Structure 1
């Protein structure tokens, strides 16, 4: 009875969820379904498995309490064909009103069959943005009566570069309810929804493991792009008093080569590879040799070739890239010697597009990774480009000149990383390594 009493679903849907074995709604469903039924715009943020798809499928079906007209009233956008099929499967599982026509649109050879299906009548359209936009531009998708617009896995849309078709479809629809479902919220996603959402309710749920793993202390730096990651790494490595021994993880050899070339110009033999590809490249066969080398401070580790890396006693572990498998990351940050006096700090660099992966890691380790403020001295790459553009334009007045204080300090002298006093004290204790 929870579904009916708390969420006000119609009796037919209550029977459907009971038959499907959904005894109780998830936290996300409890927080969103009444808002969906009430017609409110929503941004729902939750991890995989939190019930996002079921929430909006129930909200959609609850709208059809009468014989449908065969004209699209609901448009659901998902990233790919596989997700289209998953959504259709959930509709099939919960929908007992067989008069409702559901049409799927996705990239496949030939577009005519999908246009014919729409012409035969569609009440709900589940589509990938690119195919929906293509058919809309061919006048095959009628958006005039759509009163519910849903974007599922919105963070994946950003990764796939589908912002343009999503936005064009959204602004082509008149006044309607908007629902956005995502695993993570970030600046790029905010920019995507800004043109068509107005003061939405934001619902966020966290589903962490009940027993947190024993990990090293961690910090997360959210940066806009690769170039800024590189600047941040350089800024840290300039401080040879604090960063005495650092292992830097990257995913590919190409990235490892870029980091080595960039750091080597200043650090020289203080930077090295683990198992270098070429015999004349500075490197070590294992981390024990790296720790014993007095003049080497930075060890770059490309994606391991199915081999474990002994990280005990290394003060700083930096993930420049996030591994494709979260288990690899977790193995790096697990504290195998929690009673040791030689504490390590695990630092992660992540762009907006990598934050969904960070969320999955947080779920697995059972705790949030603290977010650190970017250092004031950090050079943000897109700001540099903007400054160069401004310099090419004629100056209107002395007041419009770019801020000179941005490079007030040399990076080599900049050691203010916005750490708390307690964190600084912990990190300073590592200088003995």
Structure 2
């Protein structure tokens, strides 16, 4: 499909696209450009490489005639300096209007040079939210004539905790169109953009190819925070008949120590791989663990470590490793055996969903979502300010002892899970181990 008239792109832009090798629109451009040109707010969700950056650059360049006035019409917010430079380069590749002034803003010692560049005239500003806000508060960034606000890699902006600068800048713009581009859409991101998005169209593009490997069955549990992850882990581990052997992956020694202490306090048989603490149970290799009575082995994620995970009934990723290749290597099943298959379970928060998407894209397989147990206690994130409130909280924690982070299951709900029928059947087979 060639670039059609319905996208309302200027001839110079179409020529630049063809010269750059973009001879036809990608799926995300087919689904969004007409809406964007119509002035609608859009939330576009798609994986890396699906064409999100090109999409909003086309929208930005379409805002200008050949006589720009040097006052910002487009503000593009991205997570970091590297992304600012990438977007600037992409604009240069597609922009035929050499009178346009594009100004980058990112954190660097001093703001004077960037404020001078804005004062000299800026039509498109590409910025990190914190630096754009800082210069705006110094009256160096004029947002009164902005017609298009773009937020790219929005999930990373949320992960970096830059929601406040984004919302303050959006609130400061009198009236404009809003475009949000992200790899995943979740509650925290929705909370950031909801105040300024006006009945947005949500467009989602998934580009998952053919399966690349034979993998273990996988299940994803989406959880709101660390404390709820701990509670779900405790529910699982309490089922001694089903979870007979578990390798539990975490990212840091601090997390490993917390989980070891909590599980150990509940009298679960648990150990660390290559222990670094004195007086704790541990093993120096997987074969040792396989031949021992210990049920749970906590492993700190290490991309360099090769482990033989065969014949382990359950692999639980409490946290996803930094490198997706580490996770994928563990999931590959050389000779799947229905009777002795390994089940891989992943706990993820909103902020880890982008890592899950990258894994799905790399493996060509969707990870099924699991239903949460009815008796799972969902932790709330709250701050305790008064001393009386702090004492009450400590008293409640004591009531739940041992292990304040863990909670006993209700007797009426013991060993009940909302598993789908197929998963329940698979998991029941683990009792043969």
**TM-score in terms of structure 1 length:** 0.91
User: Which residue matches 1:281?
Assistant: 280
User: Which residue matches 1:309?
Assistant: 307
SS of residue matched to 2:424: helix
Counterparts of residues 185-264 of structure 1 (less than 5 Å): 185-264=185-264
Q: How far has the Cα of 1:66 moved from its partner? A: 4.1
User: Which residue matches 2:361?
Assistant: 363
- For 1:431 and 1:386, locate their aligned partners in 2 and report how far apart those are by CA, in whole Å: 42
Q: How far has the Cα of 1:280 moved from its partner? A: 3.9
- For 2:351 and 2:342, locate their aligned partners in 1 and report how far apart those are by CA, in whole Å: 27
User: Which residue matches 1:417?
Assistant: 417
Q: Is the 8 A contact 1:4 1:10 kept in 2?
A: no
- For 2:383 and 2:130, locate their aligned partners in 1 and report how far apart those are by CA, in whole Å: 31
User: Which residue matches 1:403?
Assistant: none
Q: How far has the Cα of 1:80 moved from its partner? A: 0.9
User: Which residue matches 1:396?
Assistant: none
- For 1:422 and 1:110, locate their aligned partners in 2 and report how far apart those are by CA, in whole Å: 59
Distance 1:188 1:215, change over 3 A: same
User: Which residue matches 1:82?
Assistant: 82
- For 2:81 and 2:422, locate their aligned partners in 1 and report how far apart those are by CA, in whole Å: 49
User: Which residue matches 1:344?
Assistant: 342
Counterparts of residues 17-416 of structure 1 (less than 5 Å): 17-268=17-268, 270-278=269-277, 280-293=279-292, 295-304=293-302, 306-339=304-337, 341-382=339-380, 385=382, 409-410=409-410, 414-416=414-416
- For 2:161 and 2:362, locate their aligned partners in 1 and report how far apart those are by CA, in whole Å: 28
Q: Deviations for 1:19-77, whole angstroms, at most 9, x for unmatched residues?
A: 11112221112111121111110001111111111111011111213411111111110
- For 1:139 and 1:361, locate their aligned partners in 2 and report how far apart those are by CA, in whole Å: 43
Q: How far has the Cα of 1:413 moved from its partner? A: 5.3
- For 2:385 and 2:151, locate their aligned partners in 1 and report how far apart those are by CA, in whole Å: 37
SS of residue matched to 1:12: helix
SS of residue matched to 2:267: helix
- For 1:304 and 1:357, locate their aligned partners in 2 and report how far apart those are by CA, in whole Å: 17
- For 1:387 and 1:170, locate their aligned partners in 2 and report how far apart those are by CA, in whole Å: 31
Distance 1:388 1:111, change over 3 A: closer
Q: How far has the Cα of 1:107 moved from its partner? A: 1.2
Q: What is the root-mean-square deviation in Å for CA atoms of aligned residues?
A: 2.2
User: Which residue matches 1:401?
Assistant: none
- For 1:119 and 1:275, locate their aligned partners in 2 and report how far apart those are by CA, in whole Å: 59
Q: How far has the Cα of 1:92 moved from its partner? A: 0.6
- For 1:66 and 1:146, locate their aligned partners in 2 and report how far apart those are by CA, in whole Å: 18
SS of residue matched to 1:3: coil
Q: How far has the Cα of 1:335 moved from its partner? A: 1.2
Q: Is the 8 A contact 2:313 2:343 kept in 1?
A: yes
Q: How far has the Cα of 1:305 moved from its partner? A: 7.1
Q: Is the 8 A contact 1:151 1:179 kept in 2?
A: yes
Gaps of 5+ in 2: 390-406
- Comparing 111-120 with 80-89, greater Cα deviation is found at 111-120
